[in-house]
Structure 1
Amino acid sequence: MNEKSAEAQFTRAVNFLRRGDASSARPLMTKVVRAYPQSAPAHFMLGIACAMLSDNKRALECFDRAVEVDSSFIDAYINKGVVLKKMAFYDAAVACYDRALVINPRSAESYNNRGSAYLGLGRLHEAVEDFNHAITLNPTYADAYCNMGGALADSDAFAEALSMLDRAIELAPAMAEAHLNRGNALNGLRRFEEAVVSYEQALKLRPNYSEALCNRGHSLVELNRYEDALHSYNQAIKLEKNYASAFNGKAKSLVGLKKIDEALVCYERAIELKPEDALYEWGKALLLILQGNYEEGWRLYESRKRHKKFKENICRIQDFAQPLWLGEVNLSGKTILLHHEQGLGDTLQMLRYVPLLAKFGGDVVVQVPASLVQIAASADPAARIVAKGNPLPEFDLQCSFMSLPGMFRTTLDTVPSAVPYLQASKSSKQYWHQKLGDKSKYRIGLVWSGSAQHRNDHNRSIPLMALLPLLDIDAEFFSLQNEYREADGEVLRQKGQIQDHAKELGTFNDTAGFIEQLDLIISVDTAIAHLAGALGKPVWLLLPYSPDYRWGLEQSESAWYPSARLFRQPRAEDWESVVQTVANEVSKLVTA
């Protein structure tokens, strides 16, 4: 092949590549490489064709040959890094971009691509620094803005991520990945409807975008659109049959539809595909506990500790140098620390184990948030109670509260259900008795919402307006909440039937003394429901269609609280019929 012919073949091959036809380009460029083995551009373009055809091994060989011929061929290093990143060889990819930046320290593309490789290594801080460098060098570099937005979203800096992604889309409206990342940022901000719009824009641009289909499913689950979510996950799995995250999401949508057996199959498939992701095992654990399979469920519940981000940000489990207590029954001469994790209700539920642990012969130290200190002390007078944040005494073993059912090998039949296991202080009881005076009517405490920051708040909380049918009953009503959402506060002011003592409810001991003066507590799934159950007071719990794992699936009683009665939504988002059923039952009580 003479030089003129080789140049013509090279040009034809490049044109094929520009049209995305790597299959036609590869044989042409192979001929050029054979005729001119010292042509770095020819080796490079053959590498590009091989990479487009997913022949990664041959692509890497071509890029290596290109830099052997010309050690300053920066594009060969950059594209070798792209292939290595695609193969998840992130460290090797970083090394390629390091070399590219030696050749050209002002290469925005090299900084951007190295940042992407750092993301693969979980080195978020370095990734953000590289994306910043890329943007500084090229302020209109849409891909760098897109990657920066993705990195910030991974760091939970969702508002900053959204700003970067809006800029990326402004620069490149047809960039599907920018719309995907924007959806992820909006999902993190809990703006789920807007997130769905962004995912759907990504899918308009790239109809077979499996990640957009999967993540759209995540937002649809949060909106309780379980059927739509299921369809989205199925589409993603059809495109990518081994997509673990899609199987995990599909399981959640099936749980929302109460298709429990099908959900369990999906969790098991996700675990099979990606056993290192502890969140899939965690999801299976919750489902097993929901089904009543406590032995295996509470064992798998420990998986939450293996996912660093989930452990620190959601469960908020503390790390200690002392070993984990694994259920040994001889603690003589030892001190064990029980420490708070997750929500206040979780710890209230698990304080029942404190006196059981004390029977094993050791000293028990209980670390809880300040608002729980006084009420926690009533679980066992011998236990030492420490407010979280205060110095701890020396101890030998430790266990977080939510690990106790597993360590005690608790089954549905062996739940320590004796109540009351908590008591309000004498002074708190006296205060509220004097405050409320002698009873002239049936007294009912109401709780309709928990913390708005709770991950499942949109399912468990209801507006105060939904409880208004109860107020037609001839009884006294008291709010047990110490904070109100704006709309609820307005209803509370307009309706004078609900007495408000929020300013006097500083701790759970204050609330416990208040509850002791009431006949019945009607509550959504909040810490107050746990407190009432722990005090042995009648508590009627209003549960969503797909309830929290601890309440089981169908039963109207609770294994954890004998004084509790469970009222369940017959269908998703149907609080009206739940409240009407409760109103009818309360009327019978009051009449009796």
Structure 2
Amino acid sequence: MRMLESDHSAAPQQAILRQSHRRACARPAHVDIPASMTSTFGITPDQARTMDRAVEHHRAGRLADAAAIYRALVTENPALLAAIHGLGLVAIDLGQAAEAIPLLARCVATAPDDPSYRCSLGLALLKTGQPDAAAVALLPAANSAPGLMQPRLLLARALGGLGRWAEAEDIMVGVTTAFSSEAEAWSWRAHCESENNRPAEAEASLRRALDLKPDDPELLNNLGVILRGRGQLAEAAATYRAALTRAPDHAVSHGNLGNVLGLLGETQSAEFHLRRAVALDPGYVDGHYNLGAHLLRQDRPEEALPHLRRVLAAAPERHDALTNLGVGLVATGEIAEAEACYRRAIHLKPGNAEAHYDLAWLLLQTGRWQEGWDEYEWRWEMPSFSSRRRQFTAPLWDGTPLPDGTLLIHAEQGLGDAIQFVRYANLARSRCRRLVVECPRPMLSLFTAAAAAGLIAGEMIAIGDPQPAYDAQAPFMSLPRLFRSTPANVPAAMPYLIAPPPTEPLILPERGRRRIGLVWAGSPFNKMDSQRSLPAELFMPLLESTSADFVSLQVGPGAEQAALLPASRLVFTCHDRVRDFADTAAVIAQLDLVIGVDTAAVHLAGALGKPAWLLLAFAADYRWLQNRADTPWYPSIRLFRQSKRDDWSAVIAALRAVLTTW
């Protein structure tokens, strides 16, 4: 199952890897006793000395000891705000911010002008997901204490939590002006600039922070995040490594380095760092998510699923993890649970294009085409979809008849898709006065010949050629939705393509035997290629089971594997002989049978009405449906499916058994 784009129609799309930022705690590191407390509430010298001991424990991280002393002081003097404040800060440090809020709110209510109390309350409110209340608590302190950094920094955080990043950045510009020697201020300014889509400015601010604290692993990690976002992958990797030199057990930097190495194609090193991240911090949710996503891209869904389930156990509302879990479940054949994941992800985030698209893939695969084709339109909302969304001078066609108009239909995605969906040209022509069909250039002469023979309608042009004026346009793979196609009513009049007579270089040798064409590999750029393609030598049992001659239809990558098959049986190779798909069609027309994996050559055989046997992976492309040996798209194609993942041996055995009686 394909994770990202491909030259065939795209399969389930995994969500983007998460980069993890880590930021300083942004609260006072110790508890101060405001001077007003001593005079107003009459703190005794003994109580002051006791407070000093509590603060010492607190600073040293001995939280239980500090809390016991604070609690005893409050019991002795219920009005001692410094001790109440200390209890609140201990609760925050223990991860119990909700319990801290009433304590800190009491301090603010009693001493509303004390900025330290407002900062602590604001921090507790931020930690409990209440940025609006935090902003209310912090604003008076930020206005009344311009000489303090923390009130304004925390206010910026609160505004950011409300999505008011422009205001937050304005505050941080002022903070860095007033506190230009504070690395934390520059770090938070960078965060605001990044959220405001100003990566160059964010990078500059982080570099200012690093000038002040050059060995800070958190700052180095965050600079790596910015560099990765700017596409500077090698420099990002170097920055993460610098962070790890200073903090070898920094889990987030290991995870982020793993992400970047994966993008750089260093898959083994990537996996090492992704696994190291979750080993160092088993509770690192983004780390499990990224490791799961990496394993999915490596076509190892069984290993990916436990990590994605762990993410959802900790964060059930993670729509991205639900989407990726669905991808892994489809790959392992757990279709019902995958559908539930996709629908839950869409419920949580209705605009999640990847989840909509993956749901479409599943619905089409299971034969529910009406809803599936509707959901398939979400492909254009995915930033990494295999076909870029092109700009046209006329609106998208909605299927309404154009009795006096010109309709342009245009190919998208892969070459096999163009062959499969050009069949809709005849239906489209029935709803317009003039039809223009735009196709990949390697298809132009093939489609033009079919149009001349009356098999498909339309005036053919190649992508990139000048377009005539038109009134509406539609991509090929939106046409099944417009014509409400189902498995029962697919346009299946065959053939709808025609092969030209072969020219001299394409005439196959005549040896009085039947001829079988072979194709074993698709484009290596297809993200499903590791599943659909196989080594040529796996076809050896087929060559041994019949006296037929064999022809290699393989062109481009993988064609060199023809040398692994015996020359006495392989009488012709297409590589370096065919110029376009019309040439390939001329070769296929001379064959008795085509055997191959899911590539354009098999689509072409089907469209020519030529018998073909198609080898399919366990989680095959949606167009081949499920649990059937035939396809409504091509009556002449017979399907041979893997019964378990990554096992071609049973498929080859089944083919050999059929071939011996063919």
State whether structure 2 residue 321 is matched by structure 1 residue 246. yes
Give the one of 472, 480, 487 matched to 1:412: 487
Q: Indicate the percent of aligned positions where both proteins have the same amino acid.
A: 32
Asked if 1:222 corresponds to 2:297, the answer is yes
Contact 1:9 1:29 (C-alpha < 8 Å) held by counterparts: no
Q: Which amino acid aligns with 1:318?
A: R
The question of 1:350 aligning with 2:425 is answered no
Q: How has the CA–CA distance of structure 1 residues 9 and 215 changed in structure 2, closer, same or farther, with 3 Å as cutoff?
A: same
Give the conservation status (yes or no) of the 8 Å contact 2:541–2:656.
yes
In 1, are the aligned partners of 2:237 and 2:261 still within 8 Å (CA)?
yes
| Aligned residue number for residue 468 of structure 1 | 540
Aligned-partner residue type, residue 434 of structure 2: D
**Partner SS, residue 661 of structure 2:** helix
Relative to 1, partners in 2 of residues 1:577 and 1:152: Cα closer, same or farther, differing over 3 Å? Answer: farther
From 38, 43, 52, the counterpart of 1:2? 38
> Does 2:448 match 1:370?
no
Q: 1-side partners of 2:475 and 2:230: how far apart?
A: 26
Aligned twin of 1:380: 451
Alpha-carbon distance in 1 for matches of 2:651, 2:444: 34
The Cα offsets for residues 539-584 of structure 1, whole Å up to 9 and x where unpaired, read as 2111110111111111001111111111100100001111121122
Structure 2: which amino acid aligns with 1:97? M
Say if 2:563 is the partner of 1:492.
yes
1:556 and 2:629 aligned: yes
CA distance, structure 2, for counterparts of residue 388 and residue 346 of structure 1: 15
Structure 2 residue 368 is the aligned partner of structure 1 residue 257 = no
CA gap 1:576/1:53 in 2 versus in 1, 3 angstroms: same
Q: What is the CA deviation profile of residues 47-66 of structure 1, one whole-angstrom value per residue up to 9, with x for unaligned ones? A: 44554455544543444233
More displaced, 403-412 or 142-151? Answer: 142-151
Q: What are the ranges of 5 or more consecutive residues in structure 2 without an aligned counterpart?
A: 1-36, 40-44, 64-88, 93-99
Confirm or deny: 8 A CA contact 2:132 2:158 kept in the other structure: no
* Map of 1:290 onto structure 2: 365
**Mean CA deviation greater in 53-62 or 470-479:** 53-62
Aligned to 1:524: 597
Name the CA distance, whole Å, in 1 between partners of 2:418 and 2:587: 20
Q: How does 1:139-218 map to 2 (within 5 A)?
A: 139-154=214-229, 158-189=233-264, 192-218=267-293
* Corresponding residue number in structure 2 for 1:301: 376
C-alpha separation in 2, matches of 1:376 and 1:107:
67
Aligned residues: 580
Query: Which residue number corresponds to residue 76 of structure 1?
Result: 151
Partner of residue 326 from structure 1, selected from 398, 420, 425: 398
2: CA distance, partners of 1:481 / 1:344: 14
Question: Which amino acid in structure 2 is aligned with residue 257 of structure 1?
Answer: T
Per the alignment, do residues 295 and 49 of structure 1 end up closer, same or farther by CA in structure 2, a change over 3 Å counting?
closer
Contact 1:47–1:63 (CA<8 Å) still a contact in 2? yes
- Counterpart contact for 1:193–1:223, Cα < 8 Å: no
Question: In the alignment, what sits opposite 1:570?
Answer: 643
Partner of 2:23: none
* TM-superposed deviation, 1:6: 7.7
Cα gap change, 1:162 to 1:365, in 2 (>3 Å): farther
TM-score (normalizing by structure 1): 0.88
- The answer to whether the 8 A contact 2:407-2:432 is kept is no
| Change in 2 beyond 3 A, CA 1:7/1:412 | farther
Following the alignment from structure 2 to structure 1, what is the Cα–Cα distance between the partners of residues 540 and 208?
A: 58
Q: Distance in 2 between matches of 1:410 and 1:286?
A: 15
Q: Which letter does structure 2 place at the counterpart of 1:113?
A: W
Gaps of 5+ in 1: none
Worse-matched range after superposition: 107-116 or 528-537: 107-116
Work out whether residues 304 and 310 of structure 1, in 8 Å CA contact, stay in contact via their aligned partners in 2: no
Contact 1:146 1:165 in 2 (8 A): yes
Question: 1:206-233 CA distances to partner (integer Å, 9 max, x unpaired)?
Answer: 2122222222222222334333322222
Contact map agreement 1:268 1:284 (CA 8 A) in 2: yes
Q: CA deviation at 1:403?
A: 0.8
Deviation (angstroms), 1:470:
2.1
Q: Does the 8 Å contact 2:203/2:226 carry over to 1?
A: yes
Q: Which has the higher helix share?
A: 1
What does residue 442 of structure 1 align with?
A: 514
**SS at 1:510 equivalent:** helix
Q: d(CA) in 1 for partners of 2:593 and 2:405?
A: 41
Query: What letter matches 1:372 in structure 2?
Result: M
Call closer, same or farther: CA 1:183–1:446 in 2, change over 3 Å. Answer: same
Describe the shift of the 1:299–1:28 C-alpha distance in structure 2 as closer, same or farther (beyond 3 A): closer
Query: Deviation string for 1:506-555 (max 9, x for gaps)?
Result: 21122111111212111111122212211111121111101111111110
C-alpha displacement of 1:45 = 4.6
Aligned mates of 1:479, 1:13 — CA distance in 2: 80
Deviations 1:416-448 (A, max 9, x none): 11121112334xx23455x32334222121111
What is the CA-CA distance between 1:135 and the residue it aligns to? 5.0
What is the CA–CA distance in structure 2 between the aligned matches of 1:346 and 1:125, rounded to whole Å?
40
For the aligned residue pairs, the C-alpha RMSD in angstroms reads: 3.1
Question: 202-211 vs 17-26, which deviates more?
Answer: 17-26
Q: Choose which of 576, 579, 595 in structure 2 pairs with 1:503.
A: 576
- What is the alpha-carbon distance in structure 1 between the residues aligned to residue 190 and residue 408 of structure 2? 42
- CA 1:326–1:34 in 2, change beyond 3 Å: closer, same or farther? closer
Q: For structure 1, which segment, 221-230 or 315-324, has the greater mean C-alpha deviation from structure 2 after superposition?
A: 221-230
2:661 and 2:290 mapped to 1: Cα distance?
47
CA distance in 2, matches of 1:18, 1:89: 36
AA paired with 1:332?
Answer: P
Specify the SS of the correspondent of 1:503.
coil
Corresponding residue SS for 1:586: helix
CA contact (8 A) 1:317 1:400 kept: no
Change in CA separation of 1:28 and 1:367 when aligned onto 2, cut-off 3 Å: same
* Residue number among 403, 410, 431 corresponding to 1:360 in the alignment: 431
Report the AA paired with residue 163 of structure 1: A
